[in-house]
Amino acid sequence: MKNLIRIFIGATSLLIVLGSCSDMGEPEVLLPQMHVETTSIDYSTVTIGSPQIRQIQIINSGEGQLNGELTLIQDSSVYGLQPHGTFALLADDTLNAELTFTPSAEFTYVGQILISSDDLGNPEHVIGVTGEGTALPVPALTVSNTSLNFGTILTDNSSQEQITLSSTGNDTLLISSMDFDLGVYSVDIITPFELIPGASQLLTITFQPDAAGTFNGDMTIVSNSPSTPDVVSLSGEAEVPVSYAGAVQPVWNASCGGCHGSNGGLNLTSYSNLMAGTSSNGPAVTPGDGANSLIVRRINGTTGGLMPQGGTALSASTIATIETWINQGALDN
């Protein structure tokens, strides 16, 4: 009896379920429902030529198939929509579309995406699109000099020149190395270093020759600038200093002393006496200017009577040595 009742109750409830189903009558019309969350896309600023992608989701949250069309409206061709055109979405399905922005100029580009559908409650959805192109950031190096001349110096001296490196691009400049093909040149900075746009760096280049000669070299600057490598040509000459004690005083002693001793007038018995000059015609030596020094003009005969008076002229090489000693500063060396 208990079991029968249970079966009865079970059958009754089954009937109720069936009954409610058959009550629906007419075939149900399943309606689609388009749902798109995005109403605008702003790419902000994008580097010219580099694509940026944004996603758009079209969801059919209804019960019937959604039919529609995706259309991109733009004046230029910087935007690309994939997929586009007609689409059909089953209930509960999602369509993922991608909008790509590839600006071609420094310009603000606007456009629209139109999504039309057979969802009568939402037949058209509009997405506004905007994005701005910006110039590609490029580092640039400007070097103040393409060449540096250190002049002529003595082998035991050094000479310095300055140059300025300027970061003239719109991206950070990286100086990765500064190399010299000759060891007599060096720079007072350690690489690598960075210069932000607008910044500059003063450099001191030193010429320190180890021997006499002409030194024509290059400084090669390697950086991330499109101009790399930047080359600065360097030139300098070095002379062995002429020794007064070793090469000049002996000439006076041998050829002039007899008449230019301590008996008045130009005294050539020592460096200090020579530099004291003549009694009435000023200095005998003008340091740095051998050719115009009185003593050189007298020994090469370009002014007054040739010295040594009444004797044989000094050799051309002896005259050149004395002139060089004066050009080098007439040092007491």
Q: Which residues lie near ligand HEC (CB under 6 A)? A: 255-256, 258-260, 265-266, 278-281, 284, 294-295, 298-299, 304-305, 307-311, 314
Cα–Cα separations (whole angstroms), residue 332 to 239, 251, 287, 290, 310 = 17, 15, 11, 15, 29
> Cβ closer to ligand HEC: 39 or 280?
280
Cα–Cα separations (whole angstroms), residue 97 to 34, 37, 87, 100, 319 = 14, 13, 11, 10, 92
Give me the least distance between CB of 307 and ligand HEC, in Å please.
Answer: 3
> Cβ closer to ligand HEC: 125 or 298?
298
> Cβ closer to ligand HEC: 168 or 300?
300
Residues 6+ away with beta carbon under 8 Å from 320? none
Q: With beta carbons less than 8 A apart as the criterion, state whether 206 and 221 touch.
A: no
Q: Dihedrals φ, ψ of 143, to 5°?
A: -105, 130
- Residue 306, Cα to own-chain centre: how many angstroms? 62
> Cβ closer to ligand HEC: 77 or 303?
303
d(CA 99, CA 129): 9
Give me the least distance between CB of 256 and ligand HEC, in Å please.
Answer: 3
Give me the least distance between CB of 259 and ligand HEC, in Å please.
Answer: 3
Query: H-type helices in 78-118, by residue range?
Result: none
> Cβ closer to ligand HEC: 108 or 253?
253
Helix, coil or strand: residue 323: helix
Give me the least distance between CB of 302 and ligand HEC, in Å please.
Answer: 12
> Cβ closer to ligand HEC: 157 or 309?
309
> Cβ closer to ligand HEC: 123 or 304?
304
Question: Amino acid letter at 272?
Answer: S
d(CA 141, CA 227): 7
Give me the least distance between CB of 239 and ligand HEC, in Å please.
Answer: 23
Give me the least distance between CB of 310 and ligand HEC, in Å please.
Answer: 5
Give me the least distance between CB of 181 and ligand HEC, in Å please.
Answer: 44
Q: Tell me what percent of the chain is helix, strand and coil, each rounded to the nearest 5.
A: 15, 40, 45
